[in-house]
Homo-oligomer: A and B are copies of this chain.
Amino acid sequence: MESNLQKYLQFIEDSVKAVRFPEKPASLYEPMSYILRLGGKRMRPVLTLMACDAFGSDYKNAQNAALAVELFHNFSLIHDDIMDKAPLRRGEQTVHTRWNENTAILSGDALLIEAYKLLLTYDAGKSQSLIKLFNTTATEVCEGQQYDMDFESRTVVSIPEYLDMIRLKTAVLLGCSLQMGAILSNASAENQTDIYHFGVNLGIAFQLQDDILDLYADQAKFGKQIGGDIRSNKKTYLVLKAFEDATPDQHKALSALIQEKESDQKVTNAVALFATLHIKEKAMAKMNEFYTTAMKNLAHLQISEEHKKPFYELASFLMNREN
């Protein structure tokens, strides 16, 4: 897979580099080129190419659909960064910081429209199928972002609510990216459903792993500071699960912990409190639950084992990371 993954990655990097927007108005189009050139893992477009390949068509046919999901992802990053008041993205200034908020709003809008243009380059029937899926997904991503913002100002968020939020905000776009490749390869409706759910379940597992790594990664291998979520009082699966399982005394201790200001001690205290509640183990169990479901989705898929291999390898690659 490693070599195929490299092939898809190279292809999508070349494709992104070839994207050209009009020159004027520069204040609209430059930020769009800027965010696309910032890089990123290009995970979503790779999924589209991979699925198109696995279901038997030339992955290059999926170029514009793959670019569309990448453009959509970047649209959501521009707007999310405004909402989160994030100064940096991939180590560089965010669009609203480098330009201003108005430019970031409008460039984001224009990027979303560009994604639709790319999806319209296929024949009418295919375009309609792609855009239908894309519309549903795009709405869900907005819902997920809204829930994420709503949760910040709420004191109680249940585990099912949290899981639904990460499904909407992150996971459905992975499912959509895969299904788009399947659509372009004329996969059966059943295979499309399976590969979609594989992406969604893997996406939720991936996001739970993110929560776990943030506190329990090996600092030597982890790119960021350990415990960033605890330091910034983010309501991750770990914290919400701890609140859910806490005795009244532990609940009080956890509430007090959250009031503490950012420090290494705060992180140490969280690790200690979580240990008494076996939060790491519970989070890993939940992650494995979604991972196992994703594996079942793959097993159910009606294609040869040979063609499933890249998906198994992708899943294993994603779930065995240390950063």
Residues in B with CB closer than 8 Å to A146 are 25, 27-28, 103, 106
CB pair B105–A83 under 8 Å, yes or no, is: yes
Q: Quick check: which of A131-139, A258-266, A287-295 contacts chain B, the rest being far away?
A: A131-139
Q: Indicate if the CB atoms of B79 and A106 lie closer than 8 Å.
A: yes
Which label, helix, strand, loop or mixed, suits the secondary structure of the A interface? helix
Residue-by-residue, is A119-141 near B (CB-CB < 8 Å gives 1, otherwise 0)? 01000110110011001001100
Contact among B101, B105, B124 for A124, CB-based, below 8 A:
B124
CA distance A149 to B31 in the complex (A): 15
Is the Cβ of A106 less than 8 Å from the Cβ of B27? no
The 8 A CB mask of A61-84 against B (1 = contact, 0 = none) is 000000000000000000100110
Question: What is the distance, in angstroms, from A15's C-beta to the closest C-beta of chain B?
Answer: 19
> Nearest B residue to A128 by beta-carbon distance?
B124
Taking beta carbons and an 8 Å cutoff, which residues of A are in contact with B?
A: 24-25, 27-28, 79, 82-83, 101-103, 105-106, 108-110, 112-114, 116-117, 120, 124-125, 127-128, 131-132, 135, 138-139, 142-143, 145-147, 149-150
Given known contacts A79-B109, A110-B142, what 6 new A-B pairs fall within 8 Å (CB)? A109-B112, A112-B113, A113-B138, A124-B127, A127-B127, A128-B128
